[in-house]
Chain A
Amino acid sequence: MTAATRKQRRQVVLLRPVPGQTVIHDLWAGSKLLIVAGIGVLLTFYPGWVPIGAVALLIVAAAALAHIPRGVLPTVPRLLWVLLALGALTATFAGGSPVIAVGSLDIGLGGLLNFLRITALSIVLIGLGAMVSWTTNVAEVAPAVATLGRPLRPLRVPVDDWAVTLALALRAFPMLIDEFRVLYAARQLRPQDVDATRGARRRRWASELIDLLAAAITVALRRADEMGDAITARGGAGQISAAPTRPKRRDWVVLAVVVLVCGVALALELTVLGTSGMRRR
């Protein structure tokens, strides 16, 4: 281990599923999107401890089934930890019920609990999205969107256009990211601007941003022109998948489990274990 190794942060790998072929990997991409959307709605309407806990349980179970190693987690910058700690600290000072006694000290945990709940909610929502990207091949997403959107077609919603655009955007995305990397590297190689006086520095900064953006857009336009040619050469849009997958039995089982767990959590939240109801002082 050299010093350089320790300095390096874990790289973020985008849009590539964790290698493996598990039940979760094999689920239809459409089911995963539906589940995520459904749970997202549930949690925004009822952000209580019980629903959050239930969803966290589902995520952990799915991660275990999909054999997701701990290495997928990106490095959290230290500053974020500091901010979280600061938030937790100020929230603790707010006090509020419930109050527990630690030795001779009475500590009101109401504020801290609220802070923890909103933090847990954010983590669970991020984890939900992460589970989809860790277990889904991007090639399956656009066909799934086309299938899911089929009921909208009679309403003259151009679902197929959307699905094709999505498929192409997913294809273009890694190429653009590579170009961004080169752009950033080229920027690093440059010396400090000698003309910039202190007064002009801010204007300089803005124009530099425009320069970078103009370079990125020029490259993107070129990429789009070439892609347009390629589409024309194929005679326009049509099929986007060689073997479109459909929901199978395991999808229905998983959907049933998710509905059951979320339903029970919701019922508990609305009856005996409610923590998200109106409780204004």
Chain B
Amino acid sequence: MCINTAGGGAGHTRGASSRSHDWQNRDMTSAGPESPPRRTGSLQPVELAQAAVMAALCAAIAIIAVVVPFAAGLSLLGTVPMGLLAYRYRLRVLIAATVAGGLVAFLIAGMGGFMTVVNCAYIGGLTGIVKRRGRGTPTVIAAALVAGALFGMATVVALAILSRLRNLIFESVTANVTGLAAVLARIPGMEAIAERMKRDFAIVLDHWPYLFFTTGVLSIVFVSLVGWWALSRVLSRLLGVPDVHKLESATDVGPVGPVPLRLHDVRFRYPTSDHDALGPLSLSVRSGEHLAVTGANGSGKTTLMLVLSGREPTAGTVERPGAVGLGKLGGTAVVMQHPESQVLGTRVADDVVWGLPPGTATDVNQLLSEVGLDGMAERDTGGLSGGELQRLAVAAALAREPSLLIADEVTSMVDQDGREGLMSVLSGLTRRHRTSLVHITHYNDEADAADRTVKLAGSGWPVTDSADMVETAKAPTAAFVADRPRGAPLLELSGVCHEYGNGTPWAKSALSDIDFAVHEGDGMLIHGLNGSGKSTLAWIMAGLTVPTTGACLLDGAPVSDQVGAVAISFQAARLQLMRSHVALEIASSAGFSVWNQARVTEALHTVGLDPTLAARRVDELSGGQMRRVVLAGLLARSPRALILDEPLAGLDAASQRALLRLLIELRRSRGLTVVVISHDFSGLEELCPRTLHLQRGVLTTAPTAAGDVS
């Protein structure tokens, strides 16, 4: 766990955690350096993940810098992720990230990409280490001079060895210069300049070792200073970023034996919190039973998962016959909420065995067929739907033949189809395997499959909404419900087809023959499962993607020429918040001056947020608040229509209801045209009287197959 050493950060974030419910279950720490004593030996899980993600980020920046013409300056920013790694972790992490990022960049952009990543790591490492030591700009300059001298010498030595390549480069550049001089010499009055140019260039080339050495030193110093500036700026922005990592590696040794498990008056309090997140709770998990744990948001469901998976409680006792053995064979396995980030392999079969001790033989195909993924062993995990990813995570958990399997809200981020598939896998699990299953859920009907249900009452934490449990919703059968006379057509899509990778061997059709219109004041739901093309459609309607054929017109003109006229709120709200503070963010996205406080307040009012929030840092907001701040910025520009891509995803039940109420109110009072893109129906009927179903890129009038099943 990272300990925050940056003085102001801890107090700041603690204040936020007591206010925003969404972060309550998390340890609030910032991107500070890892606390001593520093580890030795192989990379730990957190270090591996950080190295990998930052390597991918650096590689992405390097590739853009190499591939996009005239974007080479961007590579300066690639030093920041690497600097962050050097600042927070040991050198071994940085080196692993350099190798990984270099190879990724090499695979896409060749040698140029590889060298860019290596340079970014060289300078990022330098600035990051200086930052960690708490030194300032003079130290950076001194270190950069030394590093630059080393780099310059390396360049000179390399060019001295590669004499033929050097010759080729020099002769080729000389040819360009001589040629240019020859052209210049034909212009009357320029002969002297041309002659001089030729001569000076020859002199410079004759002293090439000095030239390259000096250039090396100067460029390294320059890049280091830019990198240092960017790293400092970014680090100051990252102070409020919550650390969302929850699990800790098993430290207990000895024979593995997590069940039968007995909790006695267990309480748990997060280090930065002033109240218990869980308990007092007494609970037992017997061998081989299927136990469901339900409870409202804030009742400590996730915290219970942590305690079950080996975290020491603050008070009370936990009895187990042996060690927890998190992720070990015969130990405890955990399947978590977020489908995408749990899957670690790029190929389905690889993911099942990922992390197993070398030499363990696994019947991958048998496991995959048990979770309903037969014959998909060779598929890319990137193309799987949320439900498939979660079932894959269950297969990977089962590959460890666990004695205790914990499923923590595994269905909350998958569509109806995926939810049913997952439930059918989970419900018979304890009969097929010698394992206890603890299924933590906030869907009441999912608890029915269990042998026993425990309802968490919650501790002192105030629960905002008493009826917080969610029932899964059925698809409305009628596609059109005319609720009022429809206004003039606003957005018209005619014959829209879209194909990704058009003209390449990877071409993949996403949408075909889409014809419909959104009318003034409409409330429309575009419903479809993962991969039905609904996000592509949203991007086309917002003008962000130009369809391959067909047209999407707003007021008769292509919407792609009027980007910004149709507002869109993306599923990942955080990516839409670019400024550091709420007021700055709203002013910037709405297009008015940050000094215009009245308008900021008004915008916050529109979305039902307290004006005091204006001074808050963006990263301190809960998920629901982030979405509302995005809406505030978008609505302040009075958009012609508002598109919401999965507006309810990742929000708890209370925030979902509140957001829906707000949207319904806005539609009624302002006549706002709303288009919702979603895989879910629950509660959307009132906001969206009109529903379109999208199935594999085609509009169908009947509800999709998934809706029928429920």
Query: Interface residues, chain A, CB within 8 Å of chain B?
Result: 2, 4-5, 7-8, 10-16, 18-19, 40, 44-48, 68-69, 71-72, 77, 79-80, 87, 89-96, 110-112, 114-115, 117-118, 121, 125-126, 128-130, 132-133, 136-139, 141, 145, 158, 160-162, 164-177, 179-180, 182-183, 185-195, 207-243, 276-280
Specify which of A128, A139, A164, A228 lies most central, judged by the most chain B CB atoms within 10 Å of its CB.
Answer: A228
Closest-by-CB residue of B relative to A236 is: B45
B54 contacts the other chain (Cβ, under 8 Å)?
yes
Q: Which residues of B contact A170 (CB under 8 A)?
A: 56, 104, 346
B84 near A217: Cβ-Cβ < 8 Å:
yes
Q: Which residues of A contact B56 (CB under 8 A)?
A: 169-170, 172-173, 176, 220
- A-B pairs with beta carbons under 8 Å apart, 17 shown: A14-B108, A15-B107, A47-B165, A111-B174, A141-B107, A169-B52, A189-B563, A220-B56, A224-B54, A227-B53, A231-B355, A233-B397, A235-B328, A237-B42, A240-B354, A278-B164, A280-B167
B621 contacts the other chain (Cβ, under 8 Å)?
no
A92 to B344, CA, bound (A): 54
Chain A min CB distance to B412 (Å): 14
A79 to B360, CA, bound (A): 55
B50 near A224: Cβ-Cβ < 8 Å:
yes
A232 near B326: Cβ-Cβ < 8 Å:
yes
B433 contacts the other chain (Cβ, under 8 Å)?
no
Closest-by-CB residue of B relative to A48 is: B164
Given contacts A16-B506, A91-B176, contact A224 B355 (CB under 8 A): no
B180 near A93: Cβ-Cβ < 8 Å:
yes
B619 contacts the other chain (Cβ, under 8 Å)?
yes
Chain B min CB distance to A120 (Å): 11
B contacts with A, residue count (CB < 8 A): 150
Closest-by-CB residue of B relative to A186 is: B576
The A-contacting residues of B in range 477-519, CB under 8 angstroms, are: 500-506
Given contacts A93-B183, A112-B175, A182-B575, contact A164 B48 (CB under 8 A): yes
B357 near A190: Cβ-Cβ < 8 Å:
no
A191 near B637: Cβ-Cβ < 8 Å:
yes
Closest-by-CB residue of A relative to B565 is: A189
Given contacts A130-B110, A172-B53, A210-B233, contact A227 B344 (CB under 8 A): yes
A238 near B48: Cβ-Cβ < 8 Å:
no
The A-contacting residues of B in range 40-73, CB under 8 angstroms, are: 42-46, 48-57, 59-60, 67, 69
B169 near A118: Cβ-Cβ < 8 Å:
yes
B101 near A169: Cβ-Cβ < 8 Å:
yes
Chain B min CB distance to A13 (Å): 4
B327 near A278: Cβ-Cβ < 8 Å:
no
| Cross-interface CB contact of B580 among A12, A87, A160, A214, cutoff 8 Å | A214
17 further contact pairs, Cβ within 8 A, besides A90-B183, A111-B174: A8-B548, A10-B502, A79-B69, A91-B179, A111-B178, A161-B96, A169-B59, A169-B101, A173-B59, A210-B234, A214-B234, A224-B50, A229-B247, A229-B336, A237-B43, A239-B360, A278-B167
| Cross-interface CB contact of B238 among A71, A90, A218, A239, cutoff 8 Å | A218
Chain B min CB distance to A225 (Å): 4
B579 contacts the other chain (Cβ, under 8 Å)?
yes
Contact with A along B577-596 (1 / 0, CB 8 A): 11110000001111111110
Q: Which residues of B contact A161 (CB under 8 A)?
A: 42-43, 48, 92, 96
B653 contacts the other chain (Cβ, under 8 Å)?
no
A94 near B174: Cβ-Cβ < 8 Å:
yes
Contact with A along B318-346 (1 / 0, CB 8 A): 00000001111001011110101111111
Q: Which residues of A contact B260 (CB under 8 A)?
A: none
Given contacts A90-B183, A234-B354, contact A162 B99 (CB under 8 A): yes
B539 contacts the other chain (Cβ, under 8 Å)?
yes
| Cross-interface CB contact of A230 among B104, B176, B342, B377, cutoff 8 Å | B342
Given contacts A117-B172, A176-B60, A186-B578, contact A194 B593 (CB under 8 A): yes
Closest-by-CB residue of B relative to A86 is: B176
A94 to B183, CA, bound (A): 9
Given contacts A89-B179, A239-B358, contact A229 B246 (CB under 8 A): yes
Contact with A along B394-406 (1 / 0, CB 8 A): 0011001000000
A40 to B356, CA, bound (A): 36
